[in-house]
Amino acid sequence: MCSVCRRNPCAAGCPNAEEPKPIHICKECGYGIYEGDHYYDGPDGYYCEECLEDMSVKELVELLGDELETA
């Protein structure tokens, strides 16, 4: 039993609690994607919501496997 939170395993807010493990790793930034996070499961990897928001329209279209047309 933990001497701080008095639980086994420790409560999430306890300083002795284990760090959560990522479910996926973002291909763009390399950071973890955790339970409850929004992400895109692309053909070549996972992308976190923050990286998707930072992409241009052209980058997003290419990520989806397409390209912009020229008139």
Residue 71: how many other CB atoms lie within 10 Å: 2
Nearest to residue 65, comparing CAs of 35, 45, 36? 45
Tell whether pTM > 0.85. no
CA dist 45 and 24 (Å) reads: 9
Q: How many alpha carbons fall within 13 Å on the CB side of residue 4?
A: 9
Q: What is the mean pLDDT of the chain?
A: 93
The pLDDT tens digits of the residues spanning 7-27 come to 998 888 899 888 889 999 999
